[in-house]
Amino acid sequence: QPMGQGGEQELETLVLKLSVLKDFLSSIEKKALKALQEMSSAAPSTPPQPLSRKAKSIPVQTFEVKLDVTLGDLTKIGKSQKYTLSVDVEGGKLVVLKKQKDTQEDWNTFTHDKIRQLIKSQRVQNKLGIVFEK
């Protein structure tokens, strides 16, 4: 059964958004690889320095995203809603925050071990799917 034109547009929009997240993850991966290369090319006679309070940490990154909830077959459920996605790499946490009326906030925190899969869209560059453990 063919998908309606509106459904296809919503799917394309989701794929675009996921591609943006994919690009961000790729940039983090490149930075990590560069850091590893720099560490491995350091003189072997230099003992590793213990981490100090002044060591650089990876800041928490925040993104404004639209969240589409889908079933396993990518059938969209409901309307897209705006959320804030906060990624804490060092803490291994992903926080999904939704602001509600009257300044209430509703959030879900996912630890790295609850994220089962990241899926980069091949059709839309800035779309990323995230599969969580049940």
Mean pLDDT computed over 28-40: 84
> Sign of the CA dihedral 54, 96, 72, 21?
negative
Burial label for 121, CB within 10 Å (0-12, 13-18, 19+), is: buried
Tokens, residue 101? 């009326």
The pTM of this model reads: 0.45
Amino acid making up residue 106: D
Give the whole-angstrom CA distance, residue 33 versus residue 88: 19
pLDDT of 1? 45
pLDDT band (50, 70, 90) for residue 55: low
- pLDDT beyond 60 at 74: no
Tokens 């990876």 locate to 58
DSSP-derived 3-state class of residue 100: coil
Most confident of 20-29, 39-48, 125-134: 20-29
